Amino acid sequence: MHNIQQAASEVVGQVFAGRNLNQVLGETFLARRNLTPQQKGALQDLSYGTLRFYGQLTAVLKQLLHKPLADEGLRYLLLVALYQILYSKAESFTVVDQAVHAAKNIRANASGLVNAVLRNFLRQQDALLAVAERSEEGRYAYPQWWVDQVKAQYGTQAARILLAGNQHPPMTLRVNGRRNNAVDYLALLKLHGIAAQLIALDLVQSGVTQSGVVQAGAIQLDQAMSVDKLPGFVDGLVSVQDAGAQYAAHFLDVHDGMRVLDACAAPGGKSTHLLELANIDLWSVDKDAQRLARVQENLQRLQLSAQLKVGDAAQLDGWWDGKLFQRILADVPCSASGVVRRHPDIKWLRRPADIAGFAQQQRDILQNLWRMLENGGKLLYVTCSVFAQENRHVVDEFLRQNQDAQQLTLPVANGVSATEFINGQMLPNAQHDGFFYALLYKK
């Protein structure tokens, strides 16, 4: 265990040096080829968990130290061990003993300090946690600026939103409607002994009738698993996609024969969903060629096709052929504040100034894409953020500046129970992440 503790502390340290968690973990797995699948899972859990609760763990550790540690490696090791004691099933004293072993690899004379700090925590755990709760960083495990923004925007709902971002994310599936349906695939999972539940996507069928409910649904697994264990995954029966993200393709209201643009397409979940719903001429564009390759992989697995273009959605040059689109999906770059339970490093990598930077980028993309939309066409603006500066504010400013733009009501059925939309904002909960949607019509 001590080798995994040490590796996790190194991963956390690299994240705080400014690197992406998934990239660092991938490199660590490659560097430590002798790790078993169980050890890889443990390393991932320790890395994700320590970052998820970093604010709380730091508030506890400060109480246990007489002065800040000069060795950051030791500090990260202690945080990893504290996470294990608080949130894992490992025996507390085993965690301490293994952390003492790991400390020797970091600094020869550090084992005594690590032993004293962790055993002191075991003796005073309840009191230390109670003191940590007094600060909002300790209570919610977010940077203070993030807590302040959410509180200012959401008031009494802030605590629920913040705590939702600290939960383990569900593994949710989207059934390929060309090959199957959610009810039948749920039955197939049960035949394979895989426990799951159906999540209704409560949609009104836009463009046809305002009373007919679309029979759409997502499937949430009781336990996450490797995709190769899912029946029919390799053959394209199903994809992994958050239930909240599955609204996008339905909202865009595509029909056979339409020319459609997915402007920030990678890794391709929304592109493939659009193609599952209708026979369209789809352009999937992304400025990152490597990430666009993942779109191609998803298309091949699902036996679908689209035109893939490397290009910047904020610029016309180099990729657009000058022909207008009838539908445009603008899933724009953002802070990803609505998906932090899947990417806990985001909480600590983001800075307040980043939000304004994303908002400017979003305005540029939206304005540019609007030029590519034909009259009578629709554009769906999407983020995975809960910050109004990237969402409501961007759309409101765009509407003021473009008199030919009209915001349409999202086709969500009355009495939605599985989700909640507040002026386009979907708040994170146990069934889905946090997304923002705005459907714009070009008059």
Contact 325, 377 (CB under 8 A): yes
* pLDDT of amino acid 272: 97
Percent of the chain with pLDDT over 90: 86
Beta strand 405-408 with 217-221: parallel, antiparallel or unpaired? Answer: unpaired
Average pLDDT over residues 379-403: 98
Contact 308, 296 (CB under 8 A): yes
Question: What is the per-residue pLDDT across 219-261, written as a single tens digit (0 to 9) for each?
Answer: 999 999 999 999 999 999 999 999 999 999 999 999 999 999 9
Secondary structure of 145-191 as H, E, C letters = HHHHHHHHHHHHHHHHHHHHCCCCCCCEEEECCCCCCHHHHHHHHHH
Q: How many residues does the chain have?
A: 443
Q: 175, 252, 282, 384: which one is catalytic?
A: 384
pLDDT at 59 exceeding the cut of 50: yes
Q: How far, in Å, CA of 145 to CA of 352, rounded?
A: 7
**Sequence-ordered list of residues with C-beta below 8 angstroms from that of 125, at least 6 positions apart, any chain:** 85
* pLDDT of amino acid 208: 33
pLDDT at 190 exceeding the cut of 60: yes
Q: Considering all CA atoms of the chain, what is the largest pairwise distance in Å, rounded to the nearest integer?
A: 73
Main-chain dihedrals φ then ψ at residue 437, nearest 5 degrees: -130, 135
For 38, counting Cβ atoms within 10 Å of its Cβ (0-12 exposed, 13-18 middle, 19+ buried), the class is exposed
Q: Is the pTM of this model over 0.75?
A: yes
Of the candidates 37, 43, 31, 29, the one whose C-alpha atom is nearest the C-alpha of residue 1 is: 43
Question: What is the per-residue pLDDT across 327-380, written as a single tens digit (0 to 9) for each?
Answer: 999 999 999 999 999 999 999 999 999 999 999 999 999 999 999 999 999 999
Average pLDDT over residues 3-25: 95
Name which residue leads in pLDDT, 419 or 39: 39
Q: Has 384 been annotated as catalytic?
A: yes
Question: What is the per-residue pLDDT across 74-119, written as a single tens digit (0 to 9) for each?
Answer: 999 999 999 999 999 999 999 999 999 999 988 888 899 999 999 9
Q: How far, in Å, CA of 90 to CA of 417, rounded?
A: 37
**Sequence-ordered list of residues with C-beta below 8 angstroms from that of 215, at least 6 positions apart, any chain:** 181
**Sequence-ordered list of residues with C-beta below 8 angstroms from that of 230, at least 6 positions apart, any chain:** 173, 189, 194, 238
Beta strand 217-221 with 196-200: parallel, antiparallel or unpaired? Answer: antiparallel
For 288, counting Cβ atoms within 10 Å of its Cβ (0-12 exposed, 13-18 middle, 19+ buried), the class is middle
Average pLDDT over residues 407-430: 76
Question: What is the per-residue pLDDT across 24-35, written as a single tens digit (0 to 9) for each?
Answer: 999 999 888 889
215 pLDDT band, cuts 50/70/90, is: low
* pLDDT of amino acid 419: 46
Fill in the DSSP letter of residue 428.
P
Of the candidates 199, 197, 213, the one whose C-alpha atom is nearest the C-alpha of residue 412 is: 213
Q: Say how far residue 37 (Cα) sits from the centre of its chain.
A: 24
Structure tokens at 35: 């790790």
Mean pLDDT of the chain: 93
Average pLDDT over residues 183-211: 78
Question: What is the per-residue pLDDT across 251-305, written as a single tens digit (0 to 9) for each?
Answer: 999 999 999 999 999 999 999 999 999 999 999 999 999 999 999 999 999 999 9
* pLDDT of amino acid 31: 87
Fill in the DSSP letter of residue 427.
P
* pLDDT of amino acid 146: 98
* pLDDT of amino acid 70: 87
* pLDDT of amino acid 414: 55
Percent of the chain with pLDDT over 70: 95
Q: How many Cα atoms sit within 13 Å of 84 on the Cβ side?
A: 29
Beta strand 172-175 with 217-221: parallel, antiparallel or unpaired? Answer: antiparallel
413 pLDDT band, cuts 50/70/90, is: low
Contact 324, 372 (CB under 8 A): yes
